[in-house]
Amino acid sequence: MLIGYARVSTEDQSLDMQLDALDSAGCAKTFSEKISGAKSERAELNKALEYMREGDTLVVWKLDRLGRSLKFLIDTVNLLHDKKMHFKSLQEGFDTSTSGGKLIFHIFGSLSEFEREIIRERTNAGLKAARARGRKGGRPFKLDPKQIQQLKKLYADKSNEIKDICKLFSISRQTLYRLVKQ
């Protein structure tokens, strides 16, 4: 059975063109919503996935209607594959029920993995170069060394309460204990 899914990003956009295309493609039931593709929690998409049974095909008018990121698309298609379901995009001509459609999606998956590896390599190279120039990553310290010394003196004086020290320096208990340990 073909199950349609249509999505537009804003309330002032119309679903009509997608719904007509999905109807023409022979979708027995169509789920639609007006929500950004950047959102990972989409109620109607979830309903469509719950409604589908083994052998069914999720049909979209265009790939970007399912999701903006390649990772989301691949994760969704893999979820369908695990449940012995298929995916079809009308505009791009993808159909994972065919061997050609599966091949194309595996190529996309490989490209996505390659892209993640390249980003990871660039990030690590950038961090290494920054360290070589004496730069250290992470969030800057809220307190300077002089303030940390004052904090340690106040902490050493048992008449001072922890909550008062934290309030004075606008820090959490965890931060106080971490700084005292240094």
Which of the residues 9, 36, 69, 172 is marked catalytic?
Answer: 9
Separation between Cα atoms, residue 88 and residue 123, nearest integer Å: 35
User: What DSSP character marks residue 98?
Assistant: S
β-pair type (86-89, 94-95) = antiparallel
Q: Please choose, from the candidates 154, 155, 6, the residue with its C-alpha nearest in 3D space to the C-alpha of residue 91.
A: 6
- Which residue type sits at 48? A
Separation between Cα atoms, residue 10 and residue 7, nearest integer Å: 9
Instruction: Spell out the residues 6+ positions from residue 162 whose beta carbon is closer than 8 angstroms to its own.
Output: 155, 173, 176
Coil, strand or helix: which one is 133? coil
Q: Is 99 a catalytic residue?
A: no
Which residues are known catalytic residues?
9
